[in-house]
Structure 1
Amino acid sequence: MTTLTPTLTTTPRRAPTLPLLGQLVLAELRRMIRNPMFAMGTLGFPLIFFALFGLPNVHEKTDAGVSVGQYLLVSFGTYSLLSLAMFSFGAAVAAERTGGWLRLMRAAPLPAPLYLTGKVVAALCFSAVSLTALYLFGHVAGGVTFPLGEGLRIAGELLLGMIPLIALGLCIGFLATPTSASVVAQIISVLMSFGSGLFMPLDQLPKVVQNLAPYLPSYHLGQLGWTAVEGQGGSAVHWAWLAGYTVVLGLLAAWAYRRDEARGQ
């Protein structure tokens, strides 16, 4: 008599998504904090620039009667977000590609969207810290302040509008080598900062720069904060530009990721 023994089949269990995402975010934040050059570039430089160029002029008014201090806080806050996007997603991703980390992540049962989501959430958290540090420095050292509701709204808009800059950083990270990615990220960060009027008012820059500025995502990100400070409308136009950049750069980043995956990097 033959006895049939039932065969037990087990289905691989996947870790819960939210705890796993939390671990990825914490790991990414630790990486940022432990890199002194990265922390200095995204936290220290905006404070230094504001101290050098902002504090002497914080009590002045623009032609529209707007506080120069508030205007400059938005400018250097936008610069800090631009720098973080270029280096956290440009240079860092390129290093992870060639260092074998992405190859290891692909071999693990970890969805690529979750890995990228963790980096984005960590970048937004670090960006919020950077904006808070800049605001506290401006408030304590220069007496620059925003009403609570207005300050939170401007910070929220800047963080949300940072998404296309993150997509641009991913394009650099998946298309460039680690050495060239750092150089490219630095060049793009500086050119876009000056070209968008973050360091100097656009009307004081050459005409060719003024004509090119509206085609830069960092220009529209800065405009979101500046128009809020000035109490003007028209932000829908800038949101439309940023949304378009997000789609185009996001598709380019996705293509670059798939190309890199096919190469087995």
Structure 2
Amino acid sequence: MTALALTHARFQLIETVRIPMALIGSAFFPAASMIFFVVPFVGSDRTYSTYATASMVTFVVMTSNLFQYGIGVAEDRAQPWDPYARTLPAGAAPRFAGRILAGLVLMVVSLLPVVLIAAVATEATVGAGAFLAALGVVVVTAVPFTLMGLAIGYSLPAKAAIVVAQVLFFPLAFGGGLMTAPGGAPGFVEAIAPYLPTGAAVRLMWAAVGDFGVQPASVAALVAWTVAFAGVAAWAYRRDEGRRFS
């Protein structure tokens, strides 16, 4: 199974490399936000630039997984290869594992510009322990957004999935407080942000890299969103399989 999963991951990565604009697009907005908003305004402030970098990292985690799985899965379902691959005796597990491995690699590639800009052009600083904690948060918070993308990809045709992913990403980013420093968002955003998946994720990231305290309500909300997205993704996959193979 491991060999098959790696083969599927390599196939997914080759497909993406052949159309590099897909990868460039997922990394462009966070990197541009760092250059035009973070570096000139808070780049010289160690605390704020560190929190801003954490916010942009969370933004990349969301957009990378949302678009890669939401749009990628929907587009794959429209290709003749997908229904054929789903009839093979190996089952769905190697394909799922391969897709997730490829998604993690692409997410890391999308994160690199943000981290490099923060290291070179700002005063953002984290210790070794905080850096490892942030890596752990990246892995944990990637799960709900991966499941959200899978739910969209298996629920909708490609054209609809593109629209839904594009409509969701900015409200989730703004409503989760990714565009402001801790406590700096408008009042209604501060009220709802801890309970949105983006707001819960960025608060964990802030806690990992700074003195921001872990909020139990945000952790509970992130767990609840993860369970909910997992349920929708599983339902959408079974429905798609039943429609096409029953």
Normalised TM-score (structure 2): 0.90
Q: Does 1:58 align with 2:58?
A: no
CA contact (8 A) 1:73 1:134 kept: yes
Partner Cα distance (1:131, 1:169) in 2: 18
Which deviates more from structure 2 when the two are superposed, residues 102-111 or residues 28-37? 28-37
- Displacement of 1:144 after TM fit? 2.8
Structure 2: unaligned runs, 5 residues or longer: none
* Partner in structure 1 of residue 233 of structure 2: 253
Please give the secondary structure, in 2, of the residue aligned with 1:264.
Answer: helix
Name the aligned partner's letter for residue 85 of structure 1.
N
Structure 1: give runs of 5+ residues left out of the alignment: 1-16, 62-66
Measured after TM superposition, the shift of residue 184 of structure 1 is 0.7
Letter in 2 for 1:32: T
Aligned letter for 1:83? T
Q: In the alignment, which of 6, 11, 14 is matched to residue 30 of structure 1?
A: 14
Could you say if the C-alpha distance between residues 133 and 255 of structure 1 is closer, same or farther in structure 2, counting changes exceeding 3 Å? same
What displacement does 1:90 show? 0.4
Match of 1:223 among 199, 203, 213: 203
CA contact (8 A) 1:38 1:87 kept: no
User: What CA distance in whole angstroms lies between the structure 2 residues aligned with 1:143 and 1:214?
Assistant: 27
**Match for 1:153 among 130, 133, 155?**
133
Q: Please, what is the CA RMSD of the aligned residues?
A: 2.0
* Aligned counterparts of 1:86 and 1:39: Cα–Cα separation in 2: 13
Q: Equivalent residue of 1:191, what SS? A: helix
Matched-pair contact (CA < 8 Å) for 2:203–2:214? no
Residue of structure 2 in register with 1:80 after alignment: 60
Distance 1:145 1:210, change over 3 A: closer
Aligned residue in 1 for 2:176: 196
User: Among residues 83, 99, 121, which one is paired with 1:119 in the alignment?
Assistant: 99
Verify: 1:263 aligned to 2:243, yes or no: yes
Q: Higher helix proportion, which one?
A: 2
Cα 1:162–1:178 change in 2 (3 A) is: same
Q: From 171, 183, 206, give the equivalent of 2:163.
A: 183
2:124 counterpart SS class: coil
Report the Cα distance in structure 2 between the residues aligned to 1:29 and 1:153, rounded to whole angstroms: 27
What is the TM-score with the length of structure 1 in the denominator? 0.84
Corresponding pairs, count? 244
Paired residues of 1:90 and 1:181 also in contact (CA < 8 A): yes
**CA separation of 1:228/1:235 partners in 2, compared to 1, >3 Å: closer, same or farther?**
farther
